[in-house]
Amino acid sequence: MKNNRCVGVWIASAIAVLFGLLTLKSGGEVLFIDGAGRAAAGNYVPYVLWFNFLMGFVYIVAGVGLWLKKTWAIWLSITIAVATLIIFAIFGVDILLGGLFEPRTVKAMILRSSVWISISTFAYLKILHATDIK
């Protein structure tokens, strides 16, 4: 059972860090490089893009904390999930009010929300209740 928990923690941590690195790469290309990434972004929503880009750093911190089985990383993961859902809701209102957007942004926010709900749920259920957390 302990080995399964370690594999699960490794997978959740790796997903969080990889997700963070990919988020920084994709967001950074649109925000800071005037090239193909920005052109392909189309009608991106600046506050969603900045939120996701900045959260990329937080994803990496959470992933490292989860790897180390730190309790604060569990709460950080939950905070990431909640913050993502809040931005997604604000984005949804913006769409309903006629704001321009790219449909892939909706898909990306569904993916981000799903990933962080899954990571935070796993962390809460499997890591928080482990006896070896310090």
| Radius of gyration for the chain, computed over Cα atoms and rounded to the nearest angstrom | 16
CB atoms within 10 A of CB 67: 16
* pLDDT mean over 47-73: 96
**What's residue 128's pLDDT?**
73
Average pLDDT, the chain: 90
Read off the DSSP letter of residue 35.
S
- Residue 120 pLDDT > 90: yes
Share of the chain above pLDDT 90, in %: 75
Coil, helix or strand for 43? coil
Strands (E) across the chain are located at none
pLDDT by residue (tens digit) across 72-97?
999 999 999 999 999 999 999 999 99
> Is there a contact between 18 and 128 (Cβ–Cβ < 8 Å)?
no
**What's residue 132's pLDDT?**
47
Cβ-Cβ contacts under 8 Å for 97 (sequence gap 6 or more): none
| Residue 53 tokens, joined | 């880009």
- Residue 54 pLDDT > 80: yes
| Residue 85 tokens, joined | 């859902």
- Residue 40 pLDDT > 90: no
| CA 96 from centre of chain | 24
Read off the DSSP letter of residue 129.
T
pTM for the full predicted model = 0.88
Instruction: Report the alpha-carbon distance of residue 33 to residue 109 in Å, rounded.
Output: 22
